[in-house]
Amino acid sequence: MSPMNRSVDMSADTWILTAQCPSRLGTVDVVTRFLKESRCYITEQQSFDDRLSGGFFIRTEFRPEDDGFDADAFRAAFAPRAAEFAMSFELTAPGTRLPVVIMVSKADHCLNDLLYRYRTGQLPIKIRAVISNHPDLEPLVAWHDIPYHHFPITPETKPEQEAQVWQVVQETGAELVILARYMQVLSSDMCEKLAGRAINIHHSLLPGFKGAKPYHQAYEKGVKLVGATAHYINDDLDEGPIITQGVGAVGHADYPEDLVAKGRDIERLTLARAVALHVERRVFLHDKRTVVFDR
Amino acid sequence: MSPMNRSVDMSADTWILTAQCPSRLGTVDVVTRFLKESRCYITEQQSFDDRLSGGFFIRTEFRPEDDGFDADAFRAAFAPRAAEFAMSFELTAPGTRLPVVIMVSKADHCLNDLLYRYRTGQLPIKIRAVISNHPDLEPLVAWHDIPYHHFPITPETKPEQEAQVWQVVQETGAELVILARYMQVLSSDMCEKLAGRAINIHHSLLPGFKGAKPYHQAYEKGVKLVGATAHYINDDLDEGPIITQGVGAVGHADYPEDLVAKGRDIERLTLARAVALHVERRVFLHDKRTVVFDR
Amino acid sequence: MSPMNRSVDMSADTWILTAQCPSRLGTVDVVTRFLKESRCYITEQQSFDDRLSGGFFIRTEFRPEDDGFDADAFRAAFAPRAAEFAMSFELTAPGTRLPVVIMVSKADHCLNDLLYRYRTGQLPIKIRAVISNHPDLEPLVAWHDIPYHHFPITPETKPEQEAQVWQVVQETGAELVILARYMQVLSSDMCEKLAGRAINIHHSLLPGFKGAKPYHQAYEKGVKLVGATAHYINDDLDEGPIITQGVGAVGHADYPEDLVAKGRDIERLTLARAVALHVERRVFLHDKRTVVFDR
Amino acid sequence: MSPMNRSVDMSADTWILTAQCPSRLGTVDVVTRFLKESRCYITEQQSFDDRLSGGFFIRTEFRPEDDGFDADAFRAAFAPRAAEFAMSFELTAPGTRLPVVIMVSKADHCLNDLLYRYRTGQLPIKIRAVISNHPDLEPLVAWHDIPYHHFPITPETKPEQEAQVWQVVQETGAELVILARYMQVLSSDMCEKLAGRAINIHHSLLPGFKGAKPYHQAYEKGVKLVGATAHYINDDLDEGPIITQGVGAVGHADYPEDLVAKGRDIERLTLARAVALHVERRVFLHDKRTVVFDR
């Protein structure tokens, strides 16, 4: 298991520019030349051109050389150059904390971990709300001064419940939804609305052990490694694009409940790592796969 | 980094018998024969005879076949047989939760992790008190309904402060003291009093980077792996017997503050793992080394 | 990825006794009492009683205290005691080198690794023959003075080819067949004949990516970890009991051929580890799972 | 332990441009603009600007869009632009195989590994000669059709022996010397001559356990992790800039000889990985540290 990503509160003067477009000669140049002309000092840069799918991806950390950097002017000036390459881009300001909503059921190991990193500034997020189909985790969330919404769900009330969820997402301006062991399958409609901005943690090394009770499946199969997979959700259950995976050794003396216990640390580290990668703009979605400029 | 130890609340009917003595023919037999005669059903057993140092170590998990198992009678009956082998032994009842005191300074990542595992029953401990030389972590501890003692320390007041600490340890009946990034060097006298029952986490792969600011030392040296070491304290700073170590990859772009951030996860997992190993009676002290019957 | 197992040439005086039987009170005692009475000095012992399946497993390393240890007499004397527990057991002499046959196709990374460990005494095996359906690896094998059998195979000639393989296994007295990337599916009949004594390496983290071209499957899926699984073969392709698994990180810039390249190290270490565990008598087969007393 | 680097035979049309210079605005642009103007298609790029030391580093993989790419013309045209930034640069052609000399003593695990990767094209090197102070490994090297030089060494003959070594290095045109467990300390003069182009493998996690018999030191200390460090040599023994490190778990039952055995796999993987990083131009030397653009 790798340690967490850097997870810095993005530092005082470091902007992030990310962009992607179809492969073509000059894709790097169009970005770096503009940064140079804008007197932006590049501190870290990674780019990748995918020979099989024909996609180009770049991530740049930079700091303006001069005072009074004007982000809007930067975007406006870069837009026509990007357009020539059919390039989408995003500029992220220093100190940006992404507004998020977390969804949980009863298990609290992932939630507790995210709350801790949030509270101590180790993850550049603002947790705007926690939503659960159970009331159990309210005290933990309340201690962190975060609104807790208990939206029970039954097969019959699922559309109404999802409407409630969606309302919270919209009202809070959440740009990311974290399914921190939510244990409910989202509807196709909800998956579509949250495409590219909802991260789920599944407690197995996907594509192994999809669906329910993966640790019990793992026990039956007698595997010697268990793991967790953080992925963007999509309409196909446990098939969304993978962001990162974690793994740990297990043995014959680990009964299913032991796998569950051992898995908790793997799950929460893997989910926290995926969230860090996402909010630091290190993840690019490309069809069913991701490009991740990790450190 | 390995996932946590099993960390079960020791289950309803599982007793643990641990023993150690000088190497000799029959050491295993004296234990297992007695268990058989006492109608104790062995579910897991590990033993090791150290050819270089001449020490024998055994750990057995068992459940009594009959109702009304009498621990005192068991101890009394086994004592003379053990004595023949100069064997010390310990019997631990199902569901035992070791009373502990945690010592911290200002950093809360290890404390938060231990509190979480304690609160959710993932570590069989009872946290009787938290002691700090700073007031900062009081709210976190208070939320868990645990007494918090703020004992400031200066070079001049060190003896008095340690007397206060010792008083808390005695009054709470703590059987283990966990130095969860306490950042103060204990006096020789204190080390002696706590011999074999105080675990420290040092934020380096000992014996590399002893002493202060190990991550800054690691940065200067340009290492590509950083780690943490959980060890019993002794009078020789950062030289106590090692229980377990954790590690993670780092790179050129990790400045000292990034190493500190990445190290937090390694430290808290390594410390939690060491505490789990200790309270599950998996660790045997033998001179300057440990025997650890891990799973 | 863990380093290799100890892989010692079992030392001058260390015997290994392994046994398994249905769960019952006294299973450990029947073994350890006999060893004591036989004046055998136990240096390492591990036992496990599987609460879910009701199986008991024990592995003991010991050295006789007296000269002239008589293995046949030991076996004869222990047999009736074991019989009372319906216990099967095996006694392995110091310095035993298991006779093996290795089967390969064209890929040589696993074969080369096994040959190296064999040549340098790091694996207690005697390679009696290498069998391949291709001629390519003959020079490598010849340099190690090991017979090389080129048995081509087509769907039509499969029964004849397997008869040739079986003849070599029998004539060489091989007690283990290692499928070191053999790339052919064995017939049900052959699987049955080799039950419990044929180890295969599959280049994925089973049960993920069964069957052909697992690295290409892994690329399509966009996983961030790839691995290898060493398992006993059975009639159900890629479903045999797992002995050990290895894993390594991959990323978006790893094209299928990169996964193949990165996988080689994982495969050969995982296979070598599985063989070491098997020949050191650390692996017990129990239905579809294994008990592995690892170090 | 991570799996090996990609270790491809650099593909048919991929050139590598690496450069470094003091930090300054425009460092990325001067490289990428020139590549664009030269109609070079960038497939992968990484850059890093070290805020603490003020150094800039960039590595680019590219393929020329047009036939008839003229490397000399490229270098000549880029040189004046680079000079403005005091930038040193290196252009590496597709399919380049670095000429190397390997130095060994008696242990063959690292040598065997390098020979295997060389023979199968998994490492883009040409092994021009193997030098040893012992005759033992001659047959292994001879089978690979590589010259083997046996240059015995004593304290008295060290200068003469090093002169012999240096002659081989010069005559073979070796651009890299790999100390694959050579076990001799090179003189200051030799270290200086080989600065930045000699990689050593030390069998510990430096800076822990410098000097002789690190596994025995590790046993004495009772560590739970052992490792290996691949580094450029310099005049200060075991203090050269670190390229990569590997690690593996050990326990109480591992005697010093077991640590030696377990360490072999860690050492050879770590050394092979360092060589791959170096020959793929992923490593930049900067004072006492390295910048490594790993994948």
Q: Give the separation between CA A180 and CA A233, rounded to whole angstroms.
A: 12
- Give A146-205 pLDDT, tens digit per residue: 999 999 999 999 999 999 999 999 999 999 999 999 999 999 999 999 999 999 999 999
B47, B205, B232, B294: best to mutate for the D interface, most D CBs within 10 A:
B205
Average pLDDT of span D269-289: 96
pLDDT at A235: 85
Pick the closest to residue A110 from A149, A141, A86 (CA basis): A141
Q: Model confidence over A22-68: pLDDT tens digits?
A: 999 999 999 999 999 999 999 999 999 999 999 999 999 999 999 99
Q: Which residue of A has its CA nearest to C289?
A: A222
Class level of CATH domain A15-92: alpha beta
Predicted local confidence at residue A11, as pLDDT:
56
Cα D185 from chain centroid?
Answer: 18
- Please measure the distance between the N-terminal and C-terminal CA atoms of chain B and give it in whole angstroms: 15
Active site annotation includes D258: no
Question: What does the pLDDT look like over C127-141, one tens digit per residue?
Answer: 999 999 999 999 999
Neighbours of D73 (CB within 10 A): 11
Residues of B with catalytic annotation?
238
Taking CA atoms, C101 is separated from A279, C60, C180, in Å, by 53, 27, 10
The predicted pLDDT at position B7 comes to 38
pLDDT for the residue B236: 82
In chain D, residues with a C-beta closer than 8 Å to the C-beta of B208 are 205-208
State yes or no: pLDDT of C173 exceeds 80. Answer: yes
Flag whether pLDDT at C10 surpasses 70.
no
Instruction: Give the per-residue pLDDT at D238.
Output: 81
Q: Which pLDDT belongs to residue B10?
A: 46
What pLDDT, on a 0 to 100 scale, did the predictor assign at position C8?
42
Question: Is the predicted pLDDT of residue A290 greater than 50, yes or no?
Answer: yes
In this prediction, residue B211 carries a pLDDT of: 87
The shortest CB-CB distance from A222 to any of C208, C252, C289 is to C289
For chain C positions 26-85, those within 8 Å of chain B (CB to CB) are: 26-29, 32-33, 35-36, 39, 41-49, 51, 65
pLDDT reported for residue D11: 56
Q: Is D162 in the C-facing interface, judged by CB distances under 8 Å?
A: no
Joined tokens for residue C63? 């050295």
Q: Two tokens at A171?
A: 């009202």
> Which of the four pLDDT bands, split at 50, 70 and 90, describes residue B5?
very low
- The β-bridge relationship of strands C283-286 and C148-150 is unpaired
Give the model confidence (pLDDT) of B94-115 as tens digits. 999 999 999 999 999 999 999 9
Longest dimension (CA), chain B: 62
pLDDT per residue as tens digits for the range C181-210: 999 999 999 999 999 999 999 999 999 999
- Alpha-carbon span C47 to C28, nearest angstrom: 8
Give the span between the Cα atoms of B276 and B270, in whole angstroms.
10
Q: Which two tokens stand for residue C4?
A: 């290799």
Q: How far is CA A35 from the centre of its chain?
A: 27
**Quick one: pLDDT at residue D237?**
79
What are phi and psi for residue A244, nearest 5 degrees?
A: -155, 160
Instruction: Tell me what the pLDDT averaged over chain D comes to.
Output: 94
pLDDT exceeds 90 at position C105: yes
User: Which residues are CB-neighbours of B67 under 8 A, at least 6 positions away?
Assistant: none
The whole-number pLDDT of residue C122 equals 93
pLDDT (0 to 100) of residue C11: 56
Mean pLDDT of all residues in C111-123: 96
Lowest mean pLDDT segment, chosen from A124-133, A210-219, B124-133: A210-219
Give the pair of three-digit tokens for residue A33: 């030349």
Whether pLDDT at C60 is above 70: yes
How many whole angstroms separate alpha carbon D138 and alpha carbon D148?
A: 6
Quote the mean pLDDT of chain C.
Answer: 94
CATH architecture of D98-292: 3-Layer(aba) Sandwich (3.40)
The answer to whether residue A132 scores a pLDDT higher than 50 is yes
Report the pLDDT value the prediction gives residue B4, as an integer from 0 to 100. 45
Environment class of A214 (CB within 10 Å of its CB; exposed 0-12, middle 13-18, buried 19+): buried
Q: Which pLDDT score is estimated for D235?
A: 85
Q: Does position C284 have pLDDT exceeding 80, yes or no?
A: yes
Rounded distance between C-alpha atoms, residue A185 and residue A201, angstroms: 12
Q: Which residues of B touch D2 (CB under 8 A)?
A: 249
Residue B144: pLDDT above 50?
A: yes
Average pLDDT, integer, range D197-213: 94
**What is the tens place of the pLDDT at every residue in A206-243?**
999 998 999 999 999 999 999 999 999 998 878 899 99
Q: What is the pLDDT of residue A211?
A: 87
H-helix or E-strand spanning residue D48: strand D40-50
Of A218, A175, A203, the residue nearest A107 (C-alpha): A203
Determine the distance from the C-alpha atom of residue D86 to the mean position of all C-alpha atoms in its chain, rounded to a whole number: 25
DSSP character at residue C139: H
What Cα–Cα distance (Å) separates residue A232 from each residue in A179, A274, C166? 10, 10, 50
Find the range with the poorest average confidence among B101-115, C29-43, D35-49, D206-220: D206-220
Residue B11 has pLDDT above 70, yes or no: no
Under DSSP, is residue C17 helix (H, G, I), strand (E, B) or coil?
Answer: strand
Note the pLDDT tens digit of each residue in D94-138.
999 999 999 999 999 999 999 999 999 999 999 999 999 999 999
Domain with CATH 3.30.70.260 in chain C: 15-92
Instruction: Round to whole Å and give the CA distance between D70 and D90.
Output: 15
Chains that touch C (3 or more CB pairs under 8 A): A, B, D
pLDDT confidence band for A2 (50 / 70 / 90): very low
Mutation target vs C (from A50, A201, A204, A205; most C CBs, 10 A cutoff): A205
Per-residue model confidence (pLDDT) at position A238: 81
Q: Where in chain A is the domain with CATH 3.40.50.170?
A: 98-292
Active-site residue, selected from the candidate residues D9, D29, D108, D238:
D238
Cβ of B227 within 8 Å of Cβ of D224? The answer is: no
